[in-house]
């Protein structure tokens, strides 16, 4: 692989290959529409003068505009093109001036990171797949002069990609494999990295008054769980932690307010928020982040049965507030209500960020390009938005307000779990806000982002692990250094 700038100036590696192949590279460019733009690529098969089976030219865009994100995308594009090409090995040449102001070692590390993210494939249940249908590429070597610098830059990215893969595996598993007890067991594996993991069963949750969460799972034969993960990486292990809370509905039929049959199989990934929280705790512990962090995930299965919660039921949450359940398919907010209150009450964190595949309305509003962001704290919201831009896990902030909050007032209880047909994502966020009091808080509605409906640069079709890179960057940029001093 060789890079070419937008003005068709060959990078040194490409120029060398051009001479080695007696002008094949420059001739191929001249006879194509390849202009070196950031999305351009050109394959030269069986080039003369070299033992390579093919040369792939990849555009870098304008000189000096290379960035870590663009390098990750480039790595993903290279893997997508070569993964099933028939080649078992390939090399990427990174010149010293490859990235302009960005060090070549950092660019090389991010190319490797992007390629690995794109290489993910969930195929454990494919037993009859023909060998020619499987990826052929087994090794991708990134060649750069500053090998030591590249390895140092890649080390934290490698542990981060491991955490992303953990989440993608969890979200990809079917609901007969991943359900509350088994997902809790997966979270307990973090103890090998130094994370303290506790699992609360239904008896303990009942003692704590978590009737909102328990009501969602009462129609299932699977016992609901609440998993608490603690990472103490700050110098002061008793310093106020930061907290992340995840919705973990391992399968969502809608309960008595049952969903349509078409597409219901996708509801195995309604635990995507909890998966991200588990993955984030994995990432922080793996790189020994200098921060105290708490992860709380509420795990339930929402099923219709003779014991299932009914529309019109009223439950008393752990906070003491009562909830009229108008729609049993608006269950994630009930799970989060008790999880948020428990986390706030027990740990008194600096802030709380919750993640949930909460509403279809967020996809109507934002499509599948941004997750929805709601917050009671402008500073936290700005930090999250910046971290999203830095990792290409994009957020778009939507409003909260008293007028929206009034919509979920109930005639029979303190609140109802749904509003009217308008602003559904906002009223869901307003519901959650009633359980955080004055703690700085942000809610990420990732319903459109937890599962990718198409291949993207570093995210193959399927489970995306959206939020792991974003939140890891948030911690790294704003909380880890301060906590570790």
The token duo for 440 is: 């700085």
φ/ψ (deg, to 5) at 108: -60, -45
Please state, in angstroms and rounded to a whole number, the distance separating the CA atoms of residues 354 and 403. Answer: 23
Rg (CA), the chain: 24
The CA-to-CA distance between both ends of the chain, in Å, stands at 43
Q: Note whether 25 and 18 are within 8 A (CB).
A: yes
Q: Annotated catalytic residue: which of 259, 316, 368, 397?
A: 259
DSSP-derived secondary structure for 98-142: TTTTS-HHHHHHHHHHHHHHHT----TT--S--GGGS----EEEE
Q: Note whether 233 and 291 are within 8 A (CB).
A: yes
CA 345-396-423 angle, to 5 degrees, is 80
* DSSP code at position 258: P
Residue 333 among the catalytic residues: yes
φ/ψ (deg, to 5) at 267: -75, 5
Please state, in angstroms and rounded to a whole number, the distance separating the CA atoms of residues 32 and 44. Answer: 11
Taking residue 25's Cβ as centre, other Cβ atoms within 10 Å add up to 24
Please state, in angstroms and rounded to a whole number, the distance separating the CA atoms of residues 463 and 363. Answer: 16
CA atoms within 13 A on the CB side of 208: 21
Please state, in angstroms and rounded to a whole number, the distance separating the CA atoms of residues 229 and 343. Answer: 11
Taking residue 181's Cβ as centre, other Cβ atoms within 10 Å add up to 16
Which residues, 6 or more positions from 51, have their beta carbon under 8 angstroms from its beta carbon?
Answer: none
Q: Note whether 425 and 398 are within 8 A (CB).
A: yes
Q: Annotated catalytic residue: which of 333, 383, 473, 476?
A: 333
The token duo for 479 is: 């909380």
Active site residues: 259, 333
């Amino acid at each position: 692989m060789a890079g070419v700038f937008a003005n068709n100036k060959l990078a040194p590696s490409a120029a060398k290959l051009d001479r080695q192949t007696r002008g094949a590279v420059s001739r191929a460019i001249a006879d194509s529409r390849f202009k070196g733009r950031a999305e351009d690529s050109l394959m030269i098969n069986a080039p003369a003068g070299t033992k390579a089976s093919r040369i792939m030219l990849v555009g870098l865009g304008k000189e000096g505009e290379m960035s870590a994100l663009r390098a990750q995308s480039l790595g993903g594009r290279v893997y997508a093109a070569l993964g099933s090409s028939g080649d078992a090995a390939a090399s990427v040449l990174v010149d010293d001036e490859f990235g302009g102001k960005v060090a070549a070692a950092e660019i090389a590390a991010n190319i490797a990171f992007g390629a690995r993210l794109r290489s993910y494939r969930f195929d454990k249940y494919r037993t009859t797949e023909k060998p020619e249908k499987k990826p052929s590429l087994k090794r991708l070597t990134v060649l750069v002069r500053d090998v030591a610098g590249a390895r140092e830059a890649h080390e934290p990215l490698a542990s981060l990609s491991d955490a992303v893969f953990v989440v993608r595996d969890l979200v990809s598993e079917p609901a007969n494999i991943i359900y509350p007890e088994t997902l809790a067991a997966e979270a307990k594996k973090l103890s090998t990295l130094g994370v303290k993991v506790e699992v609360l069963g239904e008896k303990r949750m009942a003692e704590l008054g978590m009737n909102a969460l328990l009501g969602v799972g009462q129609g299932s034969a699977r016992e609901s769980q609440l998993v608490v993960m603690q990472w103490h990486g700050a110098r002061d292990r008793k310093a106020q932690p930061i907290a992340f809370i995840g919705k973990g509905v391992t399968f969502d039929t809608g309960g008595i307010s049952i969903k349509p049959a078409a597409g219901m199989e996708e509801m195995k990934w309604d635990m995507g928020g909890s998966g991200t929280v588990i993955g984030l705790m994995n990432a922080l512990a793996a790189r020994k982040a200098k921060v105290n962090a708490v992860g709380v995930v509420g795990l339930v299965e929402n099923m219709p049965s003779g014991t299932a919660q009914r529309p019109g039921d009223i439950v008393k949450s752990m906070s003491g507030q009562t909830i009229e359940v108008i729609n049993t398919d608006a269950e994630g907010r009930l799970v989060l209500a008790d999880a948020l209150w428990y986390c706030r009450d027990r740990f008194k964190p600096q802030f709380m960020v919750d993640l949930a595949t909460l509403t279809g309305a967020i996809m109507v509003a934002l499509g599948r390009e941004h997750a929805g962001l709601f917050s009671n704290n402008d500073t936290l919201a700005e930090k999250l938005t910046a971290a999203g831009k830095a990792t290409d896990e994009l957020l778009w902030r939507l409003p909260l307000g008293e007028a929206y909050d009034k919509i979920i007032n109930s005639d029979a209880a303190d609140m109802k779990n749904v509003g009217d047909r308008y602003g559904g994502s906002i009223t869901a966020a307003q519901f959650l806000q009633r359980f955080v009091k004055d703690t700085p808080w942000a809610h990420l509605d990732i319903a459109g982002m937890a599962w990718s409906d198409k291949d993207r640069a570093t995210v193959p079709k399927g489970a995306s692990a959206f939020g792991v890179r974003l939140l890891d960057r948030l911690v790294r940029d704003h909380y880890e250094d301060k906590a570790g001093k």
